[in-house]
Each structure stands twice: as structure tokens, then as C-alpha cells.
Amino acid sequence: MATATYTGTLADAGLNPITASAPQLTFRLENEATSGRYLVVRKPVPATILYDGTFFVALQPSDELLGEGNGRYIARAEWLDPIQGYSSMDLFTFFARAGGGEIAGMRDDLATWNPAQVFWQGSEPSPWPVGWVWVNTTTGDAKRMNMNNQIEYLGNIVGPEGPEGPGGPRGLDGVNAVANDTAAAGYVENPTSDTRGALDELFAKPAIPANVLALTRDGTHNQNAATVLQPWYAALANRDNTTAKVAVIGDSIVEGYGATAIEKRWVTKLAANLRNKFPVAGSPGGRGYIGAKYTGDFASFTWPCTLSAGVTVGSTDYGLKRSVVDIAGGKTATFALKGSYAWIMYPTAPTFTSFTYSLDGGAAVTVSQTSATAKDGVVTGISLGSSGAHTLVLTGGTSSFIDGVIECDGDQATGITVHDGGHSGWRSDQWAAGSANTVSNWPAAYKTVEPQVFILALGVNDQAQDKTAAEYKAAMTNLLTIVRSFASWQPIVLMPYGASGDRTASWQGFVTAMYELAATDGNTLVADMTLRVHAKDGDTTDVWFDGNHPNNKGHAMYADFMANFLSPS
């Protein structure tokens, strides 16, 4: 029995070769089998992979193998992951057709399956391999064993007629009458023929009811979430040695509007939920990044930084929240912190001078902001002493700017941190606009904290400010390109909130756009809140603060779901 050559191309979701990751590709039988005088075991057969990702492997065709597994093969890939070392996974099963060829067209799918052999005998064959047809020479009945190990009735061949008519030029007479290739092709191509009708019925896949599809759409989309989130899972598993970090880019809901305290907003509660699920001794955790200024007109709670009179926003191109304050000329930013450690984050430039910090009324320490080239995301670390309440006062010099402070409580080195990147009132196109240099602007700040997963929660302001779903998708496409410039390997989670106001119908267009965006990036997922939070219009669960923002309960619901979404279990 001769082997055949099977080919294909190994690539990532962007159809790029992964040869730089030292891939290995093997094929093994689903079950042991026999082939002629050979006993064939399940030992993997390695494929030869070329520099461009193409591969080839010699295998015994499935229709020449007899056994419980019906000759199906399992393809398995292994590659070097920079985070986790070697990763491996089973790709799919397939039926290796006689003659070899492209494996991609032989996946274990009824729509691409092709029967290969026929038994001509009076008794049912045993074993009966998948794909083989048995023609009962006594009754003329033709049956086939399909991919689900079920017997399919194909018709009856009797007397001088074949499956669809008399024999003669189309086949042989008598009990063994069989249509020749030309006639069989004609039957299949003719939409009104009995053969075509039987095939259509056999290969038809039942439609998923609309109500079921609506309930499971993000589950269907995110069936590969465990694979996409592996870098985050690895960081979470390593939280005893280094900090696992989440960054949330968004709007006023991210910043916490609608909650009665910063601890009640969903971003801060997400951190608390993750820490409760995955505790680390000695690392209760701080509130992460605290911008020097609440970016909206007013907050629904007291912001943990107080600015002296005359402090203004110097630019919207700096910091995790795209907001930097100008404290030049002795102005101050006073942070009310709760923790044991803090990083002050700020930009530097040739024209900037310095600022000072004072902890709990102590002596002022000077920090230079002068550099040869412009930079953002520069940090200075400060030990706050024992865990608890502390006051940090930043005072400006001649030319001084402050992004914010990263508050830690043991999580500066281990544990879990969630960073607030919310900018109240902003649409996706505003996030995608302005300067986005990975050294001198806000992307540099994200490179400094280097989260292992990003959440993008935008769209509410786009809809409220009469942007269309198409405009939103275009802006988010630009924003995702920017984020990928500083987060090339991290998974990104798009998070559509529950529909606000009376705009439930139009919001679905934005949600659809998020799924379409995720489909273009194999490292992006959708965490769909519209399936879990009642829309504002007609809400009976009391989760809304106003027409656009959740209340404490709504923030808690978002945090609970996202904590589960980001958990390996």
C-alpha cells in the first residue's frame, strides 16, 4: 500500500509564516488501524516545514485504513512562545483522501467529505470504515457509513435500472447496475434529481434559532478566548513573582462616573475581584494609575487628587488618561493615597525644568524634568512607608507638568494591578487623533506600565454624539492600529456596554462593528455586556445612574463579568 503526499501552509491569524518561532507539525491517527498486512500505530509523523511556512508529509490515505477511528488523522502544531516557552495544540481532524493534496480541503466536515470505496456483498461489512458504501447484492440497497458513524441510505439498485433510471449507456444491467461517472455527475449537478435532493438533505446543516444565536453569539465568537488570553493567563499565573497588569482605555464610565466612590467604580472593583480570586500574600493592591485631574466637568465622587488654583490641562497627548496638568510657578497637585508605594509619572523635554514632591509633610525632594528629547511615561518611585493613608504633594517649578501617580499597596512588584485610562466625554475618533508617538506621547506611558492585556471600552459617546456605526468602526480601526504600535503581542478585549438611553436598536450596529473589528485581528476578543446588562430603556434591574452611566450596582455587574471573563477557569 503506497503513501500519498499531503501539503499545506502553517501561518498565524495574519497569514504570516511562523517559522521564526521554531514550529513543529505532526500528524497522528485518531485510533490504531490496519492497512493490508500492516498494523498502523498512532505514533506522530513529522511534516517537513519550509522557510515560507509551506509543509508536506507522506501519509497512508484514510480510505486504505481499517479500524475504530475510520482512518482519521489529527494535526498537531508546536511553536516557541516568548512568554510561555513551547506551546502546542491539536488543530483539527481530517480524512486523508486518496491521492494526497491540500489538507485544508480535507478537514473533518461533511460538506467537504468524499466517499472512496464500495463493498459489493450480500451481508453487512464488518468492520465498516467511514466513507465506504455497501451495495447489498441481494436486495440492491446502497448504504454508506458517514462521518458520524451513522448508516445513510442512498437508494436501491434493482433489475435493469440504476439509481435514477435504466442502465444501458449509463451503467451495467442487472443487480449491479451503477451509473457511470458522467451520469453520476449529471445527477449531482441537476437540482431536481433524486440524487441531488438526497445529497442536499444529507449535507444540510441545521440553522441555529435566532433566539439561541442571540444568547450565545459572544460565546461562539470567543470560543478561542482561552488561546487568545494565554499571555494574560501566564502573567496571572506568575503574579507571585511579578505584577499582572490590566489597562482599560475608555470614557467616563471607565473613569467611574455614576459610582459614589472611586472604590465603587467598575475598574477598581475589577482589580478587587481579581485579587480575591487570585490572592498574593503581602500584596493587597492599590488603585493603580490616578490621573492628576478628573477629565470630566465634575465627578460623582471625590477625586483623590486636589489641584491648586490656576492649574490647567497642559495637553491631551500625555499620560494613560491623555491628560497632563501644568503646575508651573509653584502650583500644586496633592494626592490622597492609600498604600505603601507610588510612582510619579510625568513627561520630560528640553524646555521643562523640575518639580518637587513632599510625602506626609516631609522635606521637599527635587525631580528633574529636563531631557535631551521629549519623552512621556517617565516615572520616579517613592516608598510611602507602612500601608495606609498618605499625602503626596507635587509642586511645580518654572516649567512643570504631571501625568499622574500610580498607587501601589504591595503590587509594585507582585500581585495584580488595573490601570484607569478613562477620558470623560471622549469618542473613539478623539482617542485616535492627536500625537501618538511611542516615545514622546501617551503610547509611551502605556509602554512604561506594559500591561499584559488591554480593555477598550468606547462607543457610548460616539453614539450619544450622533456618530454612525460605520464612523465608529473606522475610528476604532485607527485606534487599534495605534494600540498595536505599543502592544504588539497583548490580547485586546473590546467591551460594549449595555445600551444607554432609548438607543437600543442603533447600539446594536456599534456592537456588530466590535465583532467585525475583532474578526480582523486574531488577538482581539469581545466581552459583550449587552447580553448581561439591561438596556436603560425599560430597565427593571436598577443598574443605571442616568441615561448613559451605570450606578454602583451597574459598575459592580461590569466588574463581576469582566473578572470572570479574564479568569482562566
Q: pTM for the whole thing?
A: 0.64
Higher pLDDT, 301 or 499: 301
Report the pLDDT value the prediction gives residue 217, as an integer from 0 to 100: 47
* pLDDT tens figures, 297-308: 888 999 999 999
Q: Please tell me what DSSP assigns to residue 55.
A: E
For the segment 320-344, the average pLDDT, to the nearest whole number, is 98
On the 0-12 / 13-18 / 19+ scale of CB atoms within 10 A, 456 is: buried
Residue 37: Cβ within 10 Å count = 6
Specify whether the CB–CB gap between 288 and 420 falls below 8 A. yes
Lowest mean pLDDT among 26-30, 148-152, 195-199: 148-152
Lowest mean pLDDT among 73-82, 194-203, 426-435, 545-554: 194-203
488523522: which residue's cell? 73
The amino acid occupying position 415 is G
Specify whether the CB–CB gap between 176 and 120 falls below 8 A. yes
Neighbouring residues of 402: CB distance < 8 A, sequence distance ≥ 6? 292, 324, 325, 327, 333, 344, 345, 346, 355, 394, 396
Largest CA distance in the chain: 108
Quote the CA–CA distance of 352 and 473 in Å, as a whole number.
38
Q: Please tell me what DSSP assigns to residue 517.
A: H
Domains in the chain, please, with CATH?
A: 4-112 (2.60.40), 118-203 (no CATH), 209-282+416-569 (3.40.50.1110), 286-409 (2.60.120.260)
Quote the CA–CA distance of 443 and 377 in Å, as a whole number.
8
Report the pLDDT value the prediction gives residue 149, as an integer from 0 to 100: 65
The gap from C-alpha 440 to its chain's centroid, in whole angstroms, comes to 29
Specify whether the CB–CB gap between 410 and 417 falls below 8 A. no
Q: Give the pLDDT band (50/70/90) at residue 356.
A: very high
Higher pLDDT, 480 or 19: 480
Three-class SS of residue 332? strand
Quote the CA–CA distance of 92 and 74 in Å, as a whole number.
6
Specify whether the CB–CB gap between 341 and 392 falls below 8 A. no
* pLDDT tens figures, 258-288: 999 999 999 999 999 999 999 999 999 999 9
Neighbouring residues of 48: CB distance < 8 A, sequence distance ≥ 6? 55, 56, 57
State the cell numbers at 557.
455587574
Residue 547: Cβ within 10 Å count = 12
* pLDDT tens figures, 168-189: 333 444 444 455 565 666 667 7
Do strands 45-46 and 24-29 pair parallel, antiparallel, or not at all (unpaired)? antiparallel
Q: Give the pLDDT band (50/70/90) at residue 160.
A: very low
Quote the CA–CA distance of 376 and 55 in Å, as a whole number.
45
- Identify the H or E element spanning 473: helix 469-486
Tell me: cis bond preceding 231? Omega within 30 of 0 counts: no
Quote the CA–CA distance of 548 and 257 in Å, as a whole number.
10
Q: Please tell me what DSSP assigns to residue 316.
A: S
On the 0-12 / 13-18 / 19+ scale of CB atoms within 10 A, 505 is: exposed
Q: Please tell me what DSSP assigns to residue 399.
A: S
* pLDDT tens figures, 51-91: 777 888 889 888 777 765 567 888 888 877 666 566 778 78
Quote the CA–CA distance of 154 and 109 in Å, as a whole number.
19
